[in-house]
Structure 1
């Protein structure tokens, strides 16, 4: 996996890059401005994932995201931010970002987020997307929690159905319902939310 980390704060940039290189075994390039990042992509070709600091020189808000998406040949480009807000996260994802990653994200979560985004999934921290304070577990039925646990184990709908003596169509319905309740975009996102909220 090839990742480009672009951030004008040296410590942040190098820390994230070093962690991705060691823990995700990624080949990581770095840049301090958007123009430098664009030059690297032009010289080295598209990266599997580009992480762009929202406030670094050259970004001009989400215009920088659009420019990098065009340069990176349609491969995932995500926004990094130290002053994250729900509104900005939603705006970035609506503009085509592969995700919105707070710089305060725990290291393990950073690795998971990078891998999900490189695989084509959309990543947004749960507390940005769903800011209701009630425990998510309380709004899921026991059967939905069973299905969610199966998803987190990487099981297909058919496997979950067999394990709980259900029809596959019923499992599909449960997946759809729990994704709606958790405000998850898909089953992978639901699994990430479940882990973040200690639901399983």
Structure 2
């Protein structure tokens, strides 16, 4: 897997690279502003994922992201930022971004998010795209937005195949989400996961 991380803060960028490459199986290129990111996309791509710092020079809000998304060597583009308003994140997703990654995210979660987005998934932290009724519950706080959608399918008694069809994802991807959410909420099987969701009144 080949990704590009574009961020104007040298120390933070180097730390991100160390986290990601340390996980294994991911090769990383870097850039310090939008123009150098576009140059690298054209010269060193195609990239499986391009991560752009929302506030770095040249971005001009989401215009920079859209410029990179127009490049054939960057099929998946996502934002990374220390902070970004919920409205900006939603606008980015609606414009076709693969996701939004907070810089405060734990290293392991960051790597998982990168793998999901590079595989064609969308990734956004739950509390940025859902209402307070979900994000305030301890169970919901442990899950990504996609995992919460899968859990809702389990709570409705749907099979992996049905959930995959509803979310327009592959069945193996759903199986991976199910396995991850089991671990996060302490469920041993589908029935237990559904019961926990019902008891928490998540849906």
Paired position in structure 1 for 2:3 = 3
In the alignment, does 2:139 pair up with 1:171?
A: no
Paired position in structure 1 for 2:18 = 18
CA distance in 2 between partners of 1:189 and 1:24 (Å): 19
Paired position in structure 2 for 1:97 = 97
Evaluate the alpha carbon distance shift between residue 34 and residue 122 of structure 1 in structure 2; reply closer, same or farther with a 3 A threshold: same
Structure 1 residue 24 displacement after superposition: 3.7
Q: Matched residue of 1:101: which SS?
A: strand
Q: Is the contact made by 1:86 and 1:128 (CA closer than 8 Å) also made in structure 2?
A: yes
* Structure 1 residues not aligned, in runs of 5+: 138-144, 152-165, 180-185
Paired position in structure 2 for 1:182 = none
Q: TM-score, normalised by structure 2?
A: 0.70
CA distance in 2 between partners of 1:100 and 1:189 (Å): 20
Evaluate the alpha carbon distance shift between residue 10 and residue 196 of structure 1 in structure 2; reply closer, same or farther with a 3 A threshold: farther
Q: Matched residue of 1:71: which SS?
A: coil
CA RMSD of aligned residues (A): 3.4
Structure 1 residue 42 displacement after superposition: 1.3
CA distance in 2 between partners of 1:173 and 1:45 (Å): 34
CA distance in 1 between partners of 2:55 and 2:103 (Å): 12
Evaluate the alpha carbon distance shift between residue 4 and residue 67 of structure 1 in structure 2; reply closer, same or farther with a 3 A threshold: same
CA distance in 1 between partners of 2:103 and 2:55 (Å): 12
Q: TM-score, normalised by structure 1?
A: 0.71
